[in-house]
Each structure stands twice: as C-alpha cells, then as structure tokens.
Structure 1
Amino acid sequence: MAVDIPKLETFELKLHATGVAEIIFNRPQRYNALSRLAYAEWLAAIRWAARCDEAKVTIITGNGKYYTSGQELTMPEPVTESNDSDDMVAIAKKGSANTKALIDEMINFPKLLIAAVNGPAIGFGVTTLALCDVVYSVPHATFKTPFMQLGFCAEGCSSLLFPRIMGPSRANEMLLMNRQFTAQELEQTGFIGRILPAEGFHDHVLKLATDAAKFSLEALKTTKKLVRDADRESLLKVNEVEIQRLAERMASDDCIQRLLEFVELAQKKKQQKLKSASKL
C-alpha cells in the first residue's frame, strides 16, 4: 500500500523503504530561509512524520549550502494610531501560532529525530536543534542566534536548553552576545553529537538512521518517552512563555526599528553587489 506523502512548496519529504523519513528544507536559492509558509509546512511535515506508521526514524536536513538561515526578514509594519501596540502584539501572536505549535510538536515527537546540519544554521534553525535527539554536523557549519541584534528574544526553548547543554557562559554568548560558534566548539559542549566528513555526509547520516530504524520501534518510543517525560511539562511551559515574550518584542518600537535598519542595510548590500557584478 502506497504511503501518502504531503507535497510541500518549501520542504521536500522522503520516505525510504528502510523506515527512514527525511524532512528537507528546500529553498536553497533563499538559503532555506523560513517564510510564514515554511513554518506552516514544517509543522505539517513533523506531524506527518510523527503519525506515519512507516516512518520509524526522521532526519531533518537542508538542500543546498545552508541548513537554514532562519526567519526570512521583511520590512515590519509600523505602529500607527489605527494599529496600536496591543493590536501589533495580537497580530504577532497570530503569526507565531504555527511556530508555537511546531515547537510543541517537536517536544512531543514520539520517535527518533535526527538533525543533519549540512551547512550554516541561524536563529530558529539553531534553537530547534536542541529539541532533536541527535545532532550531526559537517565540519564547516556555523551556528548563530542574532536575536539581540534584531530586538527579538530567546525561543525554541533555548532559554532552558542552551544553558543546560553548553553551560551558562557559552549559552549567554550565543543568546545575548551574538557570538557565532563553529561545529567544533559545539561538539565540545555536547550540543552536537558528532562531526562527520562533508563528503558523503548525507549518506553517512542516512546509514546511521537506517541502522537505528532496524531496532524495535516500540523500545525506541518507550525509551524516548522516559527521557523526554522528565522535562516535557517544563519545555511546553517555556515554549508558551517564550512565544508570548517574542510576540511582545516583535510588536515593540525597538524591534521594528532594528528590523527596518537590518532590512535596509541588506537591501543596500544587495544593490551594491548587483552594481559591482554589472561592471564586470
């Protein structure tokens, strides 16, 4: 009997006969940036993998040079008299509904979830790694959460998981000081399980996942539940609070101004690059 695999615009889904499912960021021309549609489709993909009986182990990875560059940034809507700050918070909450649901689904994901970081990871692409059971990375991958630069705040349960995994000082360097970490640095902290060679990286991770898919699925699910149950309620609560604070931040004048400056600078750099290319 054929398995119904959702057709998505921003992700590619695969289900191998071995029982390994792949959720692949598939906007390589946009560095796998996360649009509003991408958040909704990631949610649909993770729900499909959780509920699909044939999917025993799931890999999340990226197509192209990036794992994911995080949230796609666009010009924010300014606060006006007809659109006050309370309205903006409500709009931000509505926009983050899929994000909250996605994080909840990752917290509750019942089967083995492996992240295969094939290149740079930014923002939400980094925080959600801590919700995976195992993280593998290529040697050249980098990891950054530029939340302070943009006026955001911690999300993806990173306010709880990052200090626990990598220690308070390094977690605060990442979350509060905009420091970019290498794969080697995060492997030392235990955030990354193993660094694998870039050549043949996907095949290597696929083999590891295939080997795990041969194990008893019920044993895997039972053991994962034992591991996750100790923190499940805390993680769900942290996610709820983080999303609330993030909605407030994104509706603030401070955040809107920082986003405007960031997007304007990015547009100027793009224009300069196009001018330079046209002269060649």
Structure 2
Amino acid sequence: MSDILHFEQDEHGIVTLTMDYPPTRNALTGNTMVNAFLAAFERIETEHTARVVIITGAGKVFSSGGSIDEMERQLKPEYESMALRHEYREGIQRLPLALYKLEVPTIAAVNGPAIGAGFDLSCMCDIRIASEHARFAESFVKLGIIPGDGGAWFLPRLIGMSRAAEMTLTGDAIDAQQAYAWGLVSKVVAAEELLNESRKLALRIAANSPEAVRMSKRLLREGQHNRLDTVLELSAAFQAMAHKSDDHARSVQAFMEKRSKPRS
C-alpha cells in the first residue's frame, strides 16, 4: 500500500501496520506517513474484514514524532501563523481523529523510542505493549512548541492529570518500566517477543464476535465524555442488536449444549 507504511493482514483478520522510514526514524511529518495511515484506516473500515490492528515501527525506533526539517521549514518568514494552523488541521490532526474513530481495536507495539507525536500516536491506540527498549516522551516543550496533535487530550485520560502534566511540562522521557508502573502500557516484554506478544493479545480479541468487540470499543469511547444515562441508552440499543446477532445465538447454543452433556 505504501513504501513507508507496510500493510499486512492475516487469515485471522489481524492487520499489522509497520512504519518504515529510516531517514527520519519513522517521523510522522515531512513525508506521506499521515496520508498512508489514513488510506490504511479507510481500507480497514470499508473492507470490514479486519478485527484488530497492530501499529509498530521498523528498526529500533517506534516513531521520532515530528520531522526537524519540517520544523525548520515552518520557521521561514513566508509561513504565517494562520497558514500553519491550517497545515496542522489539514495535516497531522487528521490522524488522531481517524484513529480515534476506527471501529476495530488498536494495539501499539512500541518497539523503541516513541517521541513527541510518535508518543501521542501510541496514546491514540486502545492498548500499548512495550519492548524493554521503549522510551516515551511528550517532548514538545524541549523544542519550544506544544502537543499539536491531541496529546493534551489523550495523555491525561491514560495516566491522570498529575503525571500527564509532569511529562508534558518537563518533556522528559520515561522508560518502559516506568510506563508500566504508571499504567501507560499493559505489558513490557523482551524486544524479540514484542510482535509475538502483541499478536497473542490480538488473537484473544479476534476470537470474539467482531461486532460485539466493535460496539464494546465504541461504548468505552463514549464513556470517556458522556453522561451515565446517555451511555446506558446507547448500551441498550447496542445490546438489542447484539442479542439478535448470529454470533450471540451460536454462543448461547454452544453453552447450552455443553451444559446438557452429562458429567463423567
């Protein structure tokens, strides 16, 4: 699909998206990475065969975030503030919106440093698994800029306001073990086991009803910002659909058959 973002889908419906642009250590700006992600998400949403998406990086880096060359270009006097505002809205800010709306679950397999926008990309995913070599930094202030891609929205929801403020206002990096202690990642594994462990988790998710998984993810998203009564109403509507699904009927039938078998 793309020279810098590889798309692979297996027989279980697990899609692996691998960022692969060594010149800028898998940067998200100054290249076609965002467009490649958007094209991949559109394919996933329209083909309806994917059940889980794993996002990772080739080589030793997950993503370096923003391209320094791109930042240097933006410093030129001919680029006015309003033009840059539109660049953000029409550029990298499309990524968090598209990834947040993606119906299938997403796992960030963080193989190495995830810096700035690269860190925020991992935060946009539903689940994060880290290699022992992973590092995470909301490093924008180190360059005199701010999280322009939604990090200020995602990060406090993952680790709480105090820790998010510490990472955002210092720009300092934390290692994989600290990320695990703070609940930022679900697991830390040996580098050579990262994709295998991510795939094991993806298979556990893919084994369930795909529509139930999609609706459950949507409810988790809605629960982040809606009132209880609103989420309950949506839950009732989703549950009514789920009760009438073939997956539910098969699951109930299998349970009843198992229960009716005599115990030895």
Question: By the TM > 0.5 criterion, same fold?
Answer: yes
Task: Please say if residues 74 and 84 of structure 2, whose CA atoms lie closer than 8 Å, have aligned partners that are also in contact.
Answer: no
Deviation, structure 1 residue 76:
2.3
For residue 180 of structure 1, what is the aligned residue in structure 2? Answer: 173
Q: Structure 2-normalised TM-score?
A: 0.78
Identity %: 28
What is the alpha-carbon distance in structure 1 between the residues aligned to residue 110 and residue 79 of structure 2?
40
Which deviations, in whole Å up to 9, do the C-alpha atoms of 1:91-115 show, x marking residues without a partner?
Answer: 4413541322221111111111111
For residue 152 of structure 1, what is the aligned residue in structure 2? Answer: 145
Task: Please say if residues 127 and 155 of structure 1, whose CA atoms lie closer than 8 Å, have aligned partners that are also in contact.
Answer: no
Q: Which runs of 4+ in 1 moved over 6 A?
A: none
Larger Rg: 2
What is the alpha-carbon distance in structure 2 between the residues aligned to residue 183 and residue 216 of structure 1?
32
Aligned partner of residue 135 in structure 1, secondary structure: strand
Q: Structure 1-normalised TM-score?
A: 0.74
For residue 16 of structure 2, what is the aligned residue in structure 1? Answer: 22
What is the alpha-carbon distance in structure 1 between the residues aligned to residue 115 and residue 32 of structure 2?
18
Structure 2: segments with no counterpart, 5+ residues: 227-264
Counterpart mapping for 1:96-111 below 5 A: 96-111=89-104
Which deviations, in whole Å up to 9, do the C-alpha atoms of 1:64-93 show, x marking residues without a partner?
Answer: 11111111111224554xx373xx422441
Structure 1: segments with no counterpart, 5+ residues: 1-6, 234-280
For residue 272 of structure 1, what is the aligned residue in structure 2? Answer: none
What is the alpha-carbon distance in structure 2 between the residues aligned to residue 231 and residue 156 of structure 1?
19
Task: Please say if residues 67 and 121 of structure 1, whose CA atoms lie closer than 8 Å, have aligned partners that are also in contact.
Answer: yes
Deviation, structure 1 residue 142:
0.5
What is the alpha-carbon distance in structure 2 between the residues aligned to residue 42 and residue 231 of structure 1?
24
For residue 257 of structure 1, what is the aligned residue in structure 2? Answer: none
Deviation, structure 1 residue 167:
2.6
Which structure would you say has the larger RCO, counting Cα contacts within 8 Å and 6 or more residues apart?
A: 1
Task: Please say if residues 5 and 18 of structure 2, whose CA atoms lie closer than 8 Å, have aligned partners that are also in contact.
Answer: yes
Q: CA RMSD in A?
A: 2.1
Q: What is the aligned residue count?
A: 224
1:76 counterpart = 2:73:
yes
What is the alpha-carbon distance in structure 2 between the residues aligned to residue 84 and residue 200 of structure 1?
45
